[in-house]
Structure 1
């Protein structure tokens, strides 16, 4: 199993080049087709319907979109010029989270950027990353807006709580895991609380990985009421020198009624290294 097609989301964000560079590196490593997906968002409906100068606003938005889209296209062409891998450029005039979810079905892995609240030029939906991760049916590599990540996957932390999502995540991350120099499975639970029957022990993850020629070290952390498991995972990743976290994404709902699990919410808000999320 390998990633045959990698898709990277491009917009007008100041961090676009960071995730584009990483997606190019991964596509070269896996000899995968690289798809650049331009998705800038859509104009504010209230501005076009109710403002007296709605037409002027719409014309201005279209001009901004044309300029930003051309800048992103030139960045994609420049980053892939001379590569010996197939590339494809995709664009939608007024993209939404739903259109990105649909386009993601053409890929084995989608590369997204963590939302930067201070970046007004980025895709303007505050729940964009979360909704794509939960609805696209593909693993998503989310790249933090802070820091530099030229390569990922040498030292991987696998977050394991025995759930369906955790099992799905290590399966979807297998191409990364097979190439890693070290893999650490970090399991957590509350002391003196029995596990639900549908949750499997961490040794299952280690044994499954071993059968796929991935040797992993097991670490247990205990969490009490009031402890933030997401923060504990990020702290353990720093202690282990991990450059990639693999974990299941927990949550449900469409964009307007999106409900995220606490660990997923913390990781998406505070990530310090790229995170491969699978739902």
Structure 2
């Protein structure tokens, strides 16, 4: 089973091109319909619409050059509401990591985590710097047996099937962390094998003083991974986002695309 509908966030920031390119590559490999969604607030409708419509036209031109089924959508909702609503009608949402100069972009600084925690759909977050043209070489899956990790693995199946290599990493595992023969990671590895995904299970002990997020980033670099799959740990409380430490570290310091589910 492939993704059938992919939504990508389109705006006039420099990061829009990289995430649009990657979303188009995924849509082509998955034979999915690609939707470019943008927001033009009513408070500054004319100027915002002029810039946003230009961005949507560039999205449309690029997507059609890839021979990808596509459409563009312009919303007057606030950006968070628009992305959440669009994501709920899709299989995957692609957006960018918050940039350090988010004040200049006009984007909410907590946009990726807000959407990941509220949309109910997997979110592929693309680093705000760098170029990413593939996700099919080596996927690293962070596994701890939690609900969020379980959801992330299931949501990532279409990408994992296309990856040449998949490594499932368990950080600081205990013998009790598996229900299958007491071997950590064996149960989820069997689940993935039944989906025709062969994985290497890696039990890794983080260096002294290194956080889970830091250990994961270190491993992605060491293993030359091009995709990290993990659960988004956090609790939406009223208008506040309370994130787990690993999620916060990854969103701040990510160096590769990360698929998160909550």
Measured at CA, do residues 147 and 83 of structure 1 come closer, stay the same or move farther in structure 2, by a change above 3 Å? closer
Equivalence map 1:114-129=2 (5 Å): 114-129=97-112
Task: Check 1:100–1:82 CA distance in 2 against 1; reply closer, same or farther (3 A cut).
Answer: same
* Gapped regions of structure 2 (runs ≥ 5): none
Contact 1:133–1:278 (Cα < 8 Å) also in 2: yes
| TM-superposition CA deviations, 1:91-141 (whole Å, max 9, x none) | 112423123211211110000100102244535211111010011111111
Unaligned runs of 5+ in 1: 44-57
Aligned partner of residue 101 in structure 2, secondary structure = coil
Residue 16 of structure 1: aligned partner: 16
Residues 63-91 of structure 1 show CA distances to partners (whole Å, capped at 9, x for unaligned) of 33122212211211221234443211111
* Structure 2 match to 1:150: 133
Deviations 1:27-56 (A, max 9, x none): 11111100001035x58xxxxxxxxxxxxx
Q: Which secondary structure does the structure 2 equivalent of 1:173 belong to?
A: helix
* Structure 1 position 106 matched with structure 2 position 89: yes
**What whole-Å deviation, never above 9, does each CA across 1:184-211 have from its counterpart, x for those lacking one?**
11101377x97699xx942222111111
State the match for 1:160 in structure 2.
143
Corresponding position: 1:181 with 2:164: yes
- TM-score normalised to the size of structure 2? 0.91
Say which SS state the counterpart of residue 38 (structure 1) adopts: strand
Structure whose CA Rg is larger? 1
Between the aligned partners of 1:181 and 1:83, the Cα distance in structure 2 is 23
CA distance in 1, matches of 2:154, 2:189: 12
Matched with 2:37 is 37
1:77: which partner in 2? 60
Q: Supply the distance in 2 between the matched residues of 1:2 and 1:128 (Cα, whole angstroms).
A: 26
Secondary structure (helix, strand or coil) at the match of 2:142 reads strand
Q: Could you tell me how far apart the structure 1 residues matched to 2:14 and 2:97 are?
A: 12
1:212 aligns with 2:195: yes
Shift of 1:150: 1.2
- Across the aligned residues of Structure 1 and Structure 2, the Cα RMSD in angstroms comes to 2.3
TM value normalised by structure 1? 0.86
Q: Does 2:11 match 1:28?
A: no
The answer on 1:267 being equivalent to 2:250 is: yes
- 1:77 alignment partner, SS class: helix
